[in-house]
């Protein structure tokens, strides 16, 4: 993913890149920070370094999936430096209205397990072979981009 982003930016440095998905690692893991080159401090982002707003979200104790009562944040949205720090009038990353972070987790009551072993976790579609009628074992993530 890093190679693809770097090659696109080498051809056109003005391209704004968004990389997203279930990375199967937390936002602070070496695979994200070092290999992908995604830093967590938007004020210190330099050209060639990508920004991951979910580093701050994870450090604040939030997550998108739970395992053995510990929260992880495997679902990330990483953006190129020019999208994180764009100038006035350009598309750039913004905080959602009233949000504390640039990265957001969509977590609404109907998506949360109400009882049982997984109470408070995302409401899964299946637990083993048993259909639960839920959504996913991860909460979705989103960002705001605007001018």
Measure the CA–CA gap between 80 and 133, rounded to whole angstroms: 37
Whole-number mean pLDDT of the chain? 94
Q: What is the pLDDT of residue 82?
A: 94
Say whether pLDDT at 62 is over 90: yes
Q: Which residues contact 54 (CB under 8 A, 6 or more apart)?
A: 27, 73, 75, 76, 77, 103, 141
Measure the CA–CA gap between 55 and 30, rounded to whole angstroms: 12
Alpha-helical segments (H) within the chain: 2-11, 30, 54-59, 81-84
Strand 18-22's sheet: what is its strand order? 18-22, 75-79, 50-51, 38-39
Structure tokens that stand for 140 in this block: 């979705």
pLDDT per residue over 27-49, tens digit each? 999 999 999 999 999 998 988 89
DSSP structure string for 119-141: TTSB--SEETTEE-----SS--E
- Closest to 61 (Cα-Cα) out of 74, 77, 72, 76: 72
Average pLDDT for 66-80: 95
Measure the CA–CA gap between 123 and 113, rounded to whole angstroms: 5
- Residue length of the chain: 147
Which residues is 110 bridged to in the sheet?
none
């Amino acid at each position: 993913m890093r190679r693809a982003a770097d090659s696109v930016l080498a051809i056109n440095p003005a391209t704004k890149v968004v990389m997203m998905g279930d990375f199967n690692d937390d936002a602070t893991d070496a695979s994200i920070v070092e290999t992908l080159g995604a830093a967590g401090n938007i004020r210190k982002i330099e050209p060639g370094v990508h920004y991951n707003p979910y580093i701050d979200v994870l450090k604040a104790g939030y997550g998108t999936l739970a395992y053995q009562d510990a929260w992880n944040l495997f679902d990330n949205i990483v953006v190129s430096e020019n999208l994180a720090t764009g100038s006035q009038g350009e598309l750039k990353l913004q905080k959602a209205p009233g949000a504390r972070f640039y990265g957001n987790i969509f977590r609404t009551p109907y998506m949360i397990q109400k009882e049982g072993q997984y109470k408070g976790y995302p409401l899964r579609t299946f637990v083993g072979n048993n259909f639960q009628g839920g959504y996913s074992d991860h909460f979705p993530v989103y960002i705001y981009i605007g001018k």
